[in-house]
Amino acid sequence: MERGIDLPRHGFGGAPIGNLYDAVAGETARATIDAAWESGVRLYDTAPHYGLGLSEQRMGAALVGRSGYLLSTKVGRLLRTSGGRAGGPDRDGQGFDVPAELERVWDFSRDGVRTSLAESLARLGLPAVDIALIHDPDDHVDQALAEAYPALAELRAEGRIRAVGVGMNQWQAPLRFVQETDVDVVMLAGRYTLLDQSGLPLLEECVLRGVKVLAAGVFNSGILATDEPSGTYDYVPAPAELLDKAKRIAHVCHRHGVSLPQAAMAFPLRHPAVATIVVGARAPEEVVRNAELWSRPVPEELWEDLRAEGLLTIDG
């Protein structure tokens, strides 16, 4: 039985506009969100982690005054002043090109979760979010189950949020949340893609329990983002064997008139558990390109050929 919240098929991921890897000018970030809106995207995802709050600030400024969208943010990291570094040359050491004036403090306690959400709303400048996700509790799973989830469930019962979930780059811990709690959604990053279907057991359990999946990281951080595979896999240089496999997948795609990123976005949505793909962007032209690609049909024969050549081992 399905429960929770209705989700659109396409969402905008807010990590890049939080200066992931490289700085994005404020006007470019705004234009990127505007392009997503104009492309029909109505789900927007952000987090305190993304640029030490910068993504939330930019997202809220772009969405204020608009309606008819869903907004998700995350809990688990509180942002606190980092001693003695304000105004200095130090940069954030967790992948975001922002000054290290704040630091992340892990907190999956009940009070920490409520504080995190209140502080996110202040940065967003919005009265509410729709979805709250427990973010990356890899080393804190027991506490997140015992304290963070009940805190969010209380907020859901109070009508303060519409849906509760967990967002991670692995599938094993989210499986516990699906089996042991009443989460509405799971955001799974990079574990159900053209190159990695290891998250399939989680997706199958989500189908049984009516939990909706937001598939993020559909490009595996870059290797599937361009028609000729290159770049990173899970945020590090792609290993040679995976690069070779991606090139072979791209070759099959080309035979069917399909680009590799087009197939990468279409693939997760074939599974009945996946309600939404969440794709980040750092420039308006990226949004426009992605929207144009996901609007194109992908022939069934493509998936059949990928399976026939041993490049896709499941029927998804």
Report the pLDDT value the prediction gives residue 86, as an integer from 0 to 100: 46
Closest-CA residue to 134 (of 112, 149, 153, 150) = 149
Going by pLDDT thresholds of 50, 70 and 90, the confidence category of residue 316 is low
Name the band, by pLDDT with cuts 50, 70 and 90, for residue 1. very low
Q: Which residue from 177, 100, 92, 190 is spatially nearest to 141, judged by alpha carbons?
A: 177
Q: Which residue has the tokens 């804190």?
A: 140
Does pLDDT of 256 surpass 70? yes
d(CA 139, CA 185): 21
Cα 269 to Cα 240: distance, rounded to the nearest angstrom:
27
Place of tokens 């029927």: 315
Rounded distance between C-alpha atoms, residue 221 and residue 238, angstroms: 10
pLDDT in tens, 127-166: 999 999 999 999 999 999 999 999 999 999 999 999 999 9
Q: How confident is the model at residue 82 (pLDDT cuts 50, 70, 90)?
A: confident
Confidence of residue 91 (pLDDT cuts 50, 70, 90): confident
Question: Active-site residue 21, yes or no?
Answer: no
Catalytic residue among 44, 50, 149, 192: 50
- Would you call 278 helix, strand, or coil by DSSP? strand
The structure's pTM equals 0.96
Q: How far apart are CA 15 and CA 17, in angstroms?
A: 6
What would the two tokens of residue 120 be? Answer: 């996110």
Q: What mean pLDDT is predicted for residues 269-277?
A: 98
pLDDT above 90 covers what percent of the chain?
92
pLDDT on residue 4: 73
pLDDT at 49 over 60: yes
CB 3 within 8 A of CB 184: yes
Q: Which ranges constitute the DSSP H helices of 210-277?
A: 240-255, 260-266
Q: Quick one: average pLDDT of 11-16?
A: 98
Please say whether the beta carbons of 187 and 131 come within 8 A: no
- Convert the pLDDT of each residue in 160-198 to its tens digit: 999 999 999 999 999 999 999 999 999 999 999 999 999
